[in-house]
């Protein structure tokens, strides 16, 4: 139990800087920037999936959390959020480097995630623009998020950003503790047994593991690949779906549980379909 608690503290504490900087940025946007700056952010939204996919491949859980909070405030688009989720590598890159995986292999896998993230993000935003053509554009909801968190933003951006950070950190800590305990009880070997040499079922199960809102999901999937327990297509399916604790924060901060479930299903479908497609074409790296 002490080991589980130690891992939970380690997983949660490292997110604090990302949480605080994100909320500080959101407070700054709301309280300090002029309307012209806000308009610039809106106009650059069409290119959001491009930048989001690139930022997502950085090996850390924090950016998916940052992107989730920005989406909940409608600073970024759904396509940008999905692009970040799909390209996020979490702990994959550090594990690959520590295990001495060839650089060209790492680049190929990251490139696949990057391209899928960009394509999916741009397509999602394109469909949404067509669907909402003629309708009033949804405005940023940073104020709504502040009211929900009761952060007392009028007292200054630093204090309110800290308030947001503490609220979300407590939530993440509780969720992470539950997940780590479950992982310990079930065991990684048992999970791997369900995906061994199963080209279609493998990506489906790997995607379900990816839905676990914790960086541990990417660790499990990556380690199984390195131990030759799953194929590259199955691994990529899980890593595409895996968004760290981003999904947990999505259900915490974004209004509309039905909408959040749709986002989760969309992410899962893209990851699994991509993984199965890579399996069928016999991708090797």
- The CA distance from 194 to 206, in Å, is 9
pLDDT attached to residue 121: 95
- Note the pLDDT of residue 11: 73
What does the pLDDT read at residue 2? Answer: 82
Query: What ranges do the domains of the chain cover?
Result: 2-280
Q: What is the pLDDT of residue 282?
A: 82
In whole angstroms, give the CA distance from residue 31 to residue 26. 9
Q: Which pLDDT value is given to residue 223?
A: 79
- Alpha helix segments (H runs only) across 78-102: 78-87, 92-98
pLDDT of residue 144: 53
Containing H/E element for 65? helix 62-72
Cα 251 from Cα 261, distance rounded (Å): 8
- Return the residue matching tokens 């969309």: 266
- Each of the 285 residues of the chain gets a pLDDT tens digit; together they read 788 888 878 877 877 887 788 677 766 765 655 455 445 444 556 888 998 888 888 655 567 888 888 898 888 899 999 999 999 877 787 778 878 889 999 999 999 999 999 999 999 999 999 988 866 656 555 545 555 555 455 556 788 778 877 877 887 788 778 767 877 787 766 766 666 666 788 899 899 989 988 777 887 888 788 877 788 999 999 999 998 888 988 998 898 899 999 999 999 999 999 999 999 888 887
- Distances from the Cα of 156 to the Cα of 66, 151, 284, angstroms: 20, 10, 53
* Interatomic CA distance for residues 225 and 236, integer angstroms: 10
Residue 109: the pLDDT is 94
**Per-residue 3-state assignment (H helix, E strand, C coil) for 215-276:** CHHHHHHHHHHHCCCCCHHHHHHHHHHCCCCHHHHHHHHCCCHHHHHHHHHHHHHHHHHHHH
């Amino acid at each position: 139990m002490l080991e589980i608690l130690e891992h939970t503290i380690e997983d949660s504490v490292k997110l604090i800087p990302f949480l605080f900087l994100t909320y500080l940025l959101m407070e700054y946007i709301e309280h300090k920037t002029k309307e012209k700056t806000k308009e610039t952010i809106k106009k650059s939204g069409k290119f959001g999936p491009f930048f989001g996919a690139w930022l997502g491949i950085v090996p850390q859980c924090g950016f998916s959390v940052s992107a989730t909070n920005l989406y909940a405030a409608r600073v970024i688009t759904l396509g940008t959020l999905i692009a970040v989720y799909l390209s996020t590598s979490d702990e994959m890159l550090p594990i690959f480097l520590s295990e001495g995986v060839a650089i060209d292999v790492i680049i190929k896998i990251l490139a696949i995630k990057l391209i899928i993230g960009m394509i999916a993000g741009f397509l999602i935003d394109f469909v949404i623009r067509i669907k909402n053509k003629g309708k009033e554009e949804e405005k940023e909801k940073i104020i709504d998020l502040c009211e929900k968190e009761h952060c007392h933003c009028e007292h200054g951006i630093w204090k309110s950003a800290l308030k947001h950070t503490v609220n979300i950190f407590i939530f993440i800590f509780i969720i992470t503790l539950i997940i780590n305990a479950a992982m310990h009880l079930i065991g990684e070997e048992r999970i791997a047994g369900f995906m061994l040499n199963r080209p279609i079922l493998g990506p489906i199960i790997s995607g379900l593991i990816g839905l676990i809102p914790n960086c541990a999901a990417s660790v499990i999937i990556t380690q199984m690949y390195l131990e030759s327990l799953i194929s590259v297509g199955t691994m990529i399916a899980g890593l595409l779906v895996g968004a760290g604790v981003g999904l947990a924060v999505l259900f915490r901060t974004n209004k509309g549980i039905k909408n959040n479930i749709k986002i989760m299903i969309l992410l899962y479908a893209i990851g699994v379909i991509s993984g199965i497609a890579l399996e069928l074409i016999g991708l090797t790296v």
